[in-house]
Amino acid sequence: MMAQYLALKAEAGDCLLFYRMGDFFELFFEDAKIAAAVLDIALTARGEHGGEPVPMCGVPVHAATSYLQRLIKAGHRVAIAEQTETPAEAKKRGGSKALVGRGIVRVVTAGTLTEEALLDSRAANWCVALGEAGGETALACADVSTGRFEIVRAEPSALPAEMARLAAAEVVASEATAYPEIATALRPKTEFDSAGGEARLKRLYGVATLDGFGRFGRAELAAAGGLVAYLEHTSKGALPFLRPPVVHASAQAMAIDPATRESLELCCSQAGERKGSLLDAVDRTVTGGGARLLGADIGAPLMDRAEIDRRLDLVQSLHDDSALRERLRGTLRALPDIGRALGRLAAGRGSPRDLGQLRDGLDGAWQLGERLAGVDRPPALLADLAPRLRGHGTLIDLLKRALVPQPPVDASDGGYIAPGYDAALDDLRDAGSGGRRAIAALEGELKARTGITALKIRHNGVLGYHVEVPARAADPLMRPDSGFTHRQTLAGVVRFNTPELHEVAMRVTQAGSHALAAEAAHLEELTARALQDRERIADTADALARLDVAAGLAERAAEGGWVRPQLVDHPCFEIEAGRHPVVETALARQGERFVANDCRLSEDGRLWLVTGPNMGGKSTFLRQNALIAVLAQAGSFVPAARATLGLVDRLFSRVGASDNLARGRSTFMVEMVETAAILAQATPRSFVILDEVGRGTSTYDGLAIAWAVVEAIHEENRCRCLFATHYHELTRLAERLPALSLHHVRAREWKGDLVLLHELADGPADRSYGLAVARLAGMPPATVQRAKSILAKLEAGRQKTGGLAAGLDDLPLFAAAAQAEEPAPDPLRAEMERLDLDALTPREALDTLYRLKALARD
């Protein structure tokens, strides 16, 4: 057995090997140690190898899915070694001591999952292959759970952005790749040969030429070939369903680099969760397919204005017709996920329930298509989608006749083929049930004949049907002339067989096994019939998803008072009463109102310099406008009173502090790298938000960098930009940069407290309110007072000498010296400064005088 195991382990390579032994998958050696630690199961030992005990652990076959889920989530891949023959077949082949044959039937990896329990129903699961040839790069992307297959043409510089958009579960590349840092699995170089890739695609789709799918470069063929080869490897020849490839160019979508995607939290928060993201705030879809498509739309906003308007027209139609929207959403909510059911069937991992889901989903889609066909003056996109919901009548009728209303997940026990579909199967079932009635009658006869009222006819997997009596009543049945044959003695009971029971049991067993075989044959036939229409079924699933996205966006727009954005060709950005969709949702849960703000960027005012206090809302204002651009080009209404936007080709966000210490980058270094990328890539059609550039270094260095960046964006990039800063010196740039406009977030001090209004106003802020924010944050009063005195000296020195650091020499370093130089706060003066004389009643004024007199006496 160990020789067989070691041979299979060598084939599995770096995968953990699940070695089937009866009702368990066993793991040995280092695999066992890894699995025991991840799964928190007992690590034991079995026999010896090389003079050492062999570590071992195992998981039950019936519960393997849950254990696989934990191993895959921990970053492991698992090879499944199943028994390829029965013990009887092995005995017939090699005698009584022959080892049952085993082989690896599947490699389970994060990017090749199809099982419901292992997947997030509301997120795509991409397996991506990187192709490189002639200095060019491309990505081949497959979601094997639904059959989606895309090829992305991407410049090497665009690879990080594309990888961030896809959020791939697995990335495969050649072992000779120039980008090993993005790969999770490396495969032989020969699998990424462009000529071999072309041959694999032709063989996969049974065509002599690929011209019908588009024109492919060498890098694209290398990527596609590498992906297909990897899927063949993991499925051991049972290649999953892949629809014909759809070719995309990265320029077809708004370019969003990884830093911007993370900063704006488009599809997941910076904590890595869906909750708190833009997608979470927008998503009102009611199907898994719709949720997956919405995530794709937000992750890759379109650059095709006509297609965006087609999406917006459909959202507009459903927004205006609330009755149609509610009926549509109600129907969609009841439909199963036919895309993933089809994926499981195509991968050979389907069940009777998956066929039932196809039946119910296609039937519901047909009825929905019939209703939508009657919509008066439908928008163009709806007119295109409605016919794709119909046309499966023959398959629906077949599955309705063939399957029971609620087919089971497990096919091994049968019971999923409907009565009346197959007369021969019905006869076998009748024979089985008649045999069971005969067994019940025989039990009564044997009780009467033996006089043993406790006699029972039972069944188990080892003995089959047998007679069971209490041990105290077994002696008469042991006699040779009793007609009973002894089978087994246990504590308290003895088991027998009889010729009559054997005859009836044979009829029941044979009828049952024949019925199971007949049902299995029907299951195979029905699956094959369904897969004949897999392209059209997948097209129907896509149409349902698009309808769900549109209805969900219409629901979100009606719920939040969102408006349709107007898209124009020139690079303007005019938002009236814009709001941040995520922050507004969070405030609404707390019963608070979001303060809306306008943003108007045009050719003569394309760069806004925004000043004001921390916590005043600058970052929120910057982000909300970037998110409005994303939503508009994804085909959604936007949270505003009015919105007119020119298309954004590239979106950049440099907001918030972060570091990458693993790559040797400090917070300031990361900021500079991201800012450099913006200056190198932003075009006049881009939209950029920058917050506090230069704050991570010395004051003079930071101011100089921020100054130069503003000038570069204004003069060189000429893009639409919101630039938030605390460097008030930058406001002087408005005197010589004609497209620079000054704005600030409003704040007021009231009775010693800072009141943040979160409103945007024209002009620069009068000051930063830094000390007021520090006090608001709970900084100790003595520290705030000390900072106030230091600030006074700094400002006095700057006014006297023109230097920021002037006066610092007069400041003591330690607290003791500070206390000697600075007088203690005067409580009487502090009390008087806090008084609001106009607000005092006569009685309060008298009480205040007594209190002040007491303070003066103290």
Extract the tokens encoding 829.
Answer: 């003066």
User: Does residue 96 have a known ligand-binding role?
Assistant: no
Secondary structure class of 172 (helix, strand, coil): strand
456 labeled part of a ligand binding site: no
Sign of CA dihedral 764, 766, 767, 769: negative
User: Over the Cα atoms of the chain, what is R_g?
Assistant: 36
Tokens of 92: 């017939």
Q: At what angle do helices 64-73 and 29-39 cross, to 10 degrees?
A: 90
Name beta bridge partners: 513: none
Q: Which amino acid is at 655?
A: V
Q: Is 348 helix (H, G, I), strand (E, B) or coil?
A: coil
Q: Is 618 known as a binding-site position? A: yes
Helix (H, G, I), strand (E, B) or coil at 3: helix
Residue with tokens 């650059």: 303
d(CA 544, CA 338): 10
Widest CA span in the chain? 126
Strand (E) or helix (H) holding 745: strand 740-750
Burial (CB count <10 Å: 0-12, 13-18, 19+), residue 710? buried
Question: How many Å apart are CA 145 and CA 112, to the nearest integer?
Answer: 8
The per-residue DSSP string of 28-77 comes to: EHHHHHHHHHHHT---EEEEEETTEEEEEEEEEGGGHHHHHHHHHHTT--
Q: Is 614 a known ligand-binding residue? A: yes
Q: Which of 759, 755, 791, 751 is nearest to 773 (CA)?
A: 755
Q: How far apart are CA 613 and CA 772, in angstroms?
A: 9
Q: Does 619 count as an annotated binding residue? A: yes
613 is in an annotated binding site: yes
> Is 717 labeled as ligand-binding?
no
Does an H or E element contain 842, and which?
A: helix 842-857
Asked if residue 41 lies in contact with residue 35, where contact means CB atoms within 8 angstroms, the answer is yes
Cα three-residue angle 88-89-95, rounded to 5 degrees: 80
Task: Look at residue 469 and give its three-state secondary structure.
Answer: strand
Strand partners, 131: 138
Residue type, 546: R
Residue 650, strand partner residues: 255
Binding residues for ATP: 612-619
Binding site as annotated, residues: 612-619
